[in-house]
Structures are given as structure tokens and as C-alpha cells.
């Protein structure tokens, strides 16, 4: 089972919006509404930002939103802020040999 595919980097100016893609297959992203997104600042543990494709845990700003189309899930960050600069990872349940699979990760830079 290969990792889900994410772009290595994304960037935007404060106030702008960015969208990060996460591409899998029908065995994972495309087959189940079980996509999560995590934010990780340097030296810190990951933080859950989105689960079940579109759901936000309490405390996560509504600037963060998730969606899915076919085998590709997306995380959109609207009104980009300096504190959004971090690494972002998607994940999904998979019915292949593994159980869960993470994405390759995207480094977000706020210009």
C-alpha cells in the first residue's frame, strides 16, 4: 500500500485561500468517507483538523474545510494566517493490506 499523494508544498499570502489535494484510489479515499487531515508544526505532535472528509473537531477554525471528489480529497484553508504555516497530512481508511494510510505531506508556507 503506497502513501496517498499530496503536493510537496503550497503557499499563499495572508488572507488568501489555498487548497491541498490528497489523491488515492477506490480502495481508500474514493471508496470511503474516512478521510482525515492533520496539521503539524515543527517539533510538535500532529493535530486533527478534519475528519470524515468534511467534519471539523471543536476548536478548529471554520477557515479549514474538507471535501472529496472521486479518488481525491482536498483541504482548503481560507483567510490564510501566519499560524497556518505547517505541514499538513491527509489519511484514510484502506481496504488493502494495511488499515490506515497517510499522505506524503504538504508543507504550507505563508508568504
Residue numbers of the site for other proteins (CB under 8 A)? 1, 3, 32-36, 38, 40, 45-48, 51-52, 57, 87, 89, 91-93, 97-105
Q: Which of 13, 26, 16 is nearest to 95 (CA)?
A: 26
Parallel, antiparallel, or unpaired: how do β-strands 72-77 and 64-69 relate? Answer: antiparallel
Rank residues 69 and 100 by Cβ distance to other proteins and give the closer one.
100
Q: For residue 99, what is the DSSP state?
A: S
| Positive/negative CA dihedral, 44, 19, 92, 8 | negative
Cα angle value 108/110/111 (rounded, 5°):
130
* HSE (side-chain half, CA atoms, 13 Å) at 39: 20
Q: Taking the complex as a whole, how short is the minimal distance between the CB of residue 16 and other proteins, in angstroms? A: 25
Rank residues 40 and 76 by Cβ distance to other proteins and give the closer one.
40
Q: Taking the complex as a whole, how short is the minimal distance between the CB of residue 11 and other proteins, in angstroms? A: 19
Q: Taking the complex as a whole, how short is the minimal distance between the CB of residue 99 and other proteins, in angstroms? A: 4
Q: Taking the complex as a whole, how short is the minimal distance between the CB of residue 29 and other proteins, in angstroms? A: 10
Rank residues 78 and 107 by Cβ distance to other proteins and give the closer one.
107
Amino acid at each position: 500500500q503506497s502513501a496517498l499523494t499530496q503536493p510537496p508544498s503550497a503557499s499563499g499570502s495572508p488572507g488568501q485561500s489555498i487548497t491541498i489535494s490528497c489523491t488515492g484510489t477506490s480502495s481508500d479515499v474514493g471508496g470511503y468517507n474516512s478521510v482525515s487531515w492533520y496539521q503539524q508544526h515543527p517539533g510538535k505532535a500532529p493535530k486533527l483538523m478534519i475528519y470524515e472528509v468534511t467534519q471539523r473537531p471543536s476548536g478548529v477554525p471554520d477557515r479549514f474545510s474538507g471535501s472529496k471528489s472521486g479518488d481525491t480529497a482536498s483541504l482548503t484553508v481560507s483567510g490564510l494566517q501566519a499560524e497556518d504555516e505547517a505541514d499538513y497530512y491527509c489519511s484514510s481508511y484502506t481496504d488493502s493490506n494495511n488499515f490506515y494510510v497517510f499522505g506524503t505531506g504538504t508543507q504550507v508556507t505563508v508568504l
